Amino acid sequence: MDTAKRLATLNRIRKLSRLMDTSIRIPLTGFRIGIDPIIGLVPGAGDLISTAFSAYIIFLATRFRIPPKALVQMIFNVGLETVVGTVPLVGDIFDAFYKSNIRNLAILEQYLTVIEPELEKVAQDIDEKTVSQV
């Protein structure tokens, strides 16, 4: 995969992770949630849909050939959120605080910082320009 495709994949992972875990700011608190705990409120299907999004993010991360240890940690994060998420209400609160997709993004970015620092630098520059234009 060339640099442009790798950068596009990294940006897709970032956008999906933020959408799922931190896209909505709760007024007066500064706390952020994503659509993950909201989707999780739908009994049965909500947790399945959230897990599918998280699995897709992990699938995209595997394109970077992350080490098995990092992959296991990412799968554990999603698995834990999925299992606890099945508990009504308590699971949705856990989803709002645990943010497995953001944790997995951090794992990927930590790996990329070591392996491909130039890719991470270009991605951060683009991300900062996007934020400053908003």
- Total domains in the chain come to 1
pLDDT digits (tens, 9 = 90+) for 74-85: 999 999 999 998
Cβ-contact 8, 99 below 8 angstroms: no
- List all residues 6 or more positions away from 15 whose beta carbon is below 8 Å from its beta carbon: none
Q: Which domain holds residue 122?
A: 3-133
At residue 134, the pLDDT reads: 43
pTM for this entry: 0.85
Nearest to 64, CA basis, from 124, 119, 126: 119
How far is the C-alpha of 18 from the C-alpha of 35, rounded, in Å?
Answer: 9
Which two three-digit tokens encode residue 49? 């849909």
Which two three-digit tokens encode residue 87? 């508990």
Q: Return the ∠ at Cα 54 (arms to 51 and 58), rounded to 5°.
A: 135
Cβ-contact 6, 119 below 8 angstroms: yes
pLDDT digits (tens, 9 = 90+) for 7-32: 899 999 999 999 999 999 999 998 99
Which two three-digit tokens encode residue 22? 């931190």
Which two three-digit tokens encode residue 55? 């699995």
